[in-house]
Amino acid sequence: MDHVEFRLLGSIDACVGGRRLDLGPRKRRYVLAALLLDLNRPVPVERLIDAVWEGDPPDSARMTVQGHVYRLRRTLPGVRVETDSSGYVLRTDPGRVDALRFRGLLAEAAARDDESGADLLDEALGLWSGPALGEASGGKTLEVAAVELEEARLAAVEELARRRLRLGQPERVVAPLRATLTANPHQERLVSLLMTVFYRLGRQAEALELYERTRRLLADQLGVDPGRELRTTFESLLAHHV
Question: Which pLDDT score is estimated for 84?
Answer: 87
Pairing verdict, β 80-83 and 19-20: unpaired
Do 90 and 35 meet the contact criterion of CB atoms below 8 Å apart?
yes
Do 152 and 106 meet the contact criterion of CB atoms below 8 Å apart?
yes
Question: Taking the model in full, what pTM does it have?
Answer: 0.91
Write down all domains in the chain, each with its CATH number in brackets. 1-167 (1.10.10.10), 170-242 (1.25.40.10)
Gap between the Cα atoms of 153 and 27, Å rounded: 25
Burial class (CB in 10 A: 0-12, 13-18, 19+), 194: buried
3-state secondary structure of 187: coil
Phi, psi of 185 (to 5 degrees): -65, -15
Helix axes 174-183, 140-166, angle to 10 degrees: 150
Gap between the Cα atoms of 227 and 136, Å rounded: 32
| Alpha-carbon distances of 151 from 18, 120, 147, rounded to whole Å | 28, 18, 6
Cα angle 97-174-206, degrees, rounded to a multiple of 5: 150
pLDDT in tens, the chain (242 residues): 568 999 999 999 999 988 999 999 999 999 999 999 999 999 999 999 999 998 889 999 999 999 999 999 999 988 999 998 889 999 999 999 999 999 999 999 999 999 999 999 999 999 999 999 986 667 888 999 999 999 999 999 999 999 999 999 999 999 999 999 999 999 999 999 999 999 999 999 999 999 999 999 999 999 999 999 999 999 999 988 77
